[in-house]
Amino acid sequence: MKNSLLVFFFVLGGISTQAQELNCKVDVVTDASLEVTTVEKEIFDQLKQTIFELMNNTQWTKDKFKIEERINCNLVIQIREIPSVGVYKGEMQIQSTRPSFNSSYNTTVFNFQDQDVIFAYSRNSQILYAPNQFRDNLTSMLAFYAYFIIGMDYDSYYMKGGTPYFNEAQNIVVNAQTASAPGWKSNETGKRNRYYLVDNVLHQLFEPLRECNYGYHRQGIDLLYSSLEEGRKGIYSSLAKLNKVVATRPNSVNLLNFVQAKSTELKNIYADADQKEKQDLVTLMQRIDPANASKYGEILN
């Protein structure tokens, strides 16, 4: 249970109320150029509340969470088009964080922009997730990201601890193979969709990335408060594991999502490190993510 994984993170007194796994903030926004009627604005407000209730009130796991153990995450749906009445097309930004041990600092664990978002929704519609069923595209997308967020969070506390939840996310992908909506299949243009997110994370070639996720947080971020030097060593040695992924799957969506979510954080953590330590990190990150070499180079400044 998650309590056993996180017991060292919380010193609790009295009686605590049990809660679901996610503490998810939700927003639904529209492009400024999109003409939205008063009725549609009301529908979007209702959509926002309905998504909020699904994400926060569904019991996604069998584990018991206390309120302060919930996974903090944000979900923003950007409506760019209304192809027909009740049908909406756009993007979804999903982000989750977890706390650093013994401090108020929160580190980003997952940050992804899904550009294959299209769904139908009408006034007073309910969104209810049913395992092993594809009921509609919106529900399946939301459930997929709920499980993926949980999987990434568990992986950051316990080596490959997120496997059961990645398996649930993969089941959602399998059930969506008959859907006409994009984002679920391997034969779509590019490899930045839901299919590849979960297929990659469960593939043996990506085990070093999962090891990095665990080591970066437990042997790095969680040590920074007690020993900045040891924390930096843990971060560097964990990131070095990604060389194996780069050798076989360079520019993969999972790899780039992880390191790019950490770029600003790394600059701050290494701000007062000695020049050799900075240079070693920059060399490593530029090899892992060469497209953003200049951004990592800022660490040297």
pLDDT confidence of residue 18: 60
Under the banding of pLDDT at 50, 70 and 90, the label for residue 2 is low
Q: What is the pLDDT of residues 211-234, one digit of tens each?
A: 999 999 999 999 999 999 999 999
For the residues 59-86, what does the mean pLDDT come to? 96
Q: What is the pLDDT of residues 254-295, one digit of tens each?
A: 999 999 999 999 999 999 999 999 999 999 999 999 999 999
pLDDT confidence of residue 199: 98
Angle at 17 between CA 11 and CA 19, to 5 degrees: 100
For the residues 39-52, what does the mean pLDDT come to? 96
Angle at 148 between CA 146 and CA 233, to 5 degrees: 130
19 or 49, higher pLDDT: 49
CA 28 to the chain's CA centroid = 18
Confidence check: pLDDT of 19 > 80: no
Q: How far, in Å, CA of 77 to CA of 90, rounded? A: 7
Q: What is the pLDDT of residues 178-211, one digit of tens each?
A: 999 999 999 998 899 999 999 999 999 999 999 9
Token pair 């979510």 in the structure block, residue: 261
For the residues 56-63, what does the mean pLDDT come to? 96
Give the relative orientation of helices 228-240 and 253-269 as an angle to the nearest 10 degrees: 160
Under the banding of pLDDT at 50, 70 and 90, the label for residue 14 is very low
Q: How many CB atoms lie within 10 A of CB 196?
A: 20
